[in-house]
Amino acid sequence: MLIRKPPTIPGSEITPPAVYAGRRDFVRALAIGLGSASLGLAHAAPSPDAKSGPFAKLLSSPLSARDETLTPYKSMTTYGNFYEFGPDKDSPAKNAHRLRTRPWSVTVDGEVKTAKTFGIDDILSWAALEERIYRLRCVEGWSAVVPWVGFSFSELLKRVEPTGNAKYVEFWSLADPEQMPYVRIPLLDWPYVEALRMDEARHPLTMLAVGMYGEVMPKQNGAPIRLVVPWKYGFKSAKSIVRIRFVEKQPQTAWMKAGPDEYGFYSNVNPDVPHRRWSQASERRLGDFLKRKTLPFNGYADQVAGLYAGMDLRKNF
């Protein structure tokens, strides 16, 4: 298998131009002002052994895509998006070591009977942890197959009482400029907020992940807790979550604000709806040389297409 390095991937598939087109020199100039200490210089050092960590013994989920070849651990931990740590694909691995994941808490509020705050260790005790092998598809054209560790989001719903007004649920990521140097730069409207419709959030595939490859979640991949919604583009899966808010009206999410004509609320993987500047009909798996055909709903159509019955998936992209 040929491992392709990020520079060999076409520019249209690397970082969405809507984020920082025309701002690259500006970002680099500000980065000098932030100082090398705040940016961080060393790559995180993930374990090469995918099953040596604290999650070595996990329930095997029937929801897993077990006919897929896993993406190499190194590829997933050195190439990705986490704009709080920088706009380039190698930025998270370089800079996320600054993130402090203990102590950590998640506040649940909004349309709930009683707002609550849960510590990460309380969350880890909610349910038996599962390994779920999910396909991941990113809007830039790359994809992966990842063995996530976590549990269904519905486990949280058992512990809070959303009111009848709760129609959507927001996921807020940490936005701390001390730990996340690029929060000082207006790449996006911080904090990063994503959202789902309530029936999407309740679906068994929707997952709160606390690890991957049998390891505790790497900081550059969204430690200590992140969302995973496998039938949607990867940017829907908020990282380093600190707040979960139930709301009545469809919210404006980070990418909708950044490019409303390019990033819709639903963001379901739909190969028939191109991005404004490139096709979504094919994808390249990290670690592969050739592209492959993109599947509707990222291959999860049998499980989730019914959520969108009667909707125009071109209009509601």
Domain ranges of the chain: 6-308
Residue 20 confidence (pLDDT) above 90: no
Q: How many CB atoms lie under 10 A from the CB of residue 47?
A: 15
Rg (CA), the chain: 18
Q: Provide the token pair at 88.
A: 């380039």
CB-hemisphere CA count at 13 Å for 126?
A: 22
Q: pLDDT tens digit string along 54-70?
A: 776 798 899 999 889 99
Determine the pLDDT at residue 56.
67
Task: For Cα atoms 95, 100, 104, give the angle at the middle one, nearest 5 degrees.
Answer: 140
Alpha carbons 161 and 76: distance in angstroms, whole number: 35
Residue 80 confidence (pLDDT) above 80: yes
Alpha carbons 145 and 68: distance in angstroms, whole number: 7
Q: pLDDT tens digit string along 168-223?
A: 999 999 999 999 999 999 999 999 999 999 999 999 999 999 999 999 999 999 99
Task: For Cα atoms 143, 231, 197, give the angle at the middle one, nearest 5 degrees.
Answer: 140
Q: pLDDT tens digit string along 94-104?
A: 999 999 999 99
Please say whether the structural domain 6-308 has been given the CATH code 3.90.420.10. yes
Determine the pLDDT at residue 124.
93
B/e letters for 206-218, b = 16+ CB within 10 Å, e = fewer, are: bbbbbbbbbbbbb
Residue-by-residue DSSP string for 149-200: EEEETHHHHTTS-B-TT--EEEEEEP--TTT-GGGGTTTS-SSPEEEEEHHH
Residue 266 · residue 232 · CB < 8 Å:
yes
Identify the three-state secondary structure at position 266: coil
Q: What dihedral angle (degrees, nearest 10) is formed by the CA atoms of 90, 93, 97, 101? A: 120
- Sorted by sequence, the CB contacts under 8 Å of residue 146 that are 6+ apart come out as 70, 71, 76, 133, 134, 136, 212, 213
Q: pLDDT tens digit string along 237-295?
A: 999 999 999 999 999 999 999 999 999 999 999 999 999 899 999 999 999 999 999 99
Residue 6, preceding peptide bond in cis (omega within 30° of 0): no
Q: Give the per-residue SS3 of 101-159.
A: CCCCEEEEEECECCCEEEEHHHHHCCCCCEEEEEEEECCCCEEEEEEEEEEECHHHHCC
Alpha carbons 40 and 140: distance in angstroms, whole number: 26
Instruction: Give pTM, 2 decimals.
Output: 0.85
Q: Provide the token pair at 25.
A: 């020199």
Residue 15 · residue 88 · CB < 8 Å:
yes
Residue 83: burial class (beta carbons within 10 Å; 0-12, 13-18, 19+): buried
Determine the pLDDT at residue 66.
83
Pairing, β 116-119 against β 130-137: unpaired
Alpha carbons 284 and 79: distance in angstroms, whole number: 13
Residue 174 · residue 191 · CB < 8 Å:
yes
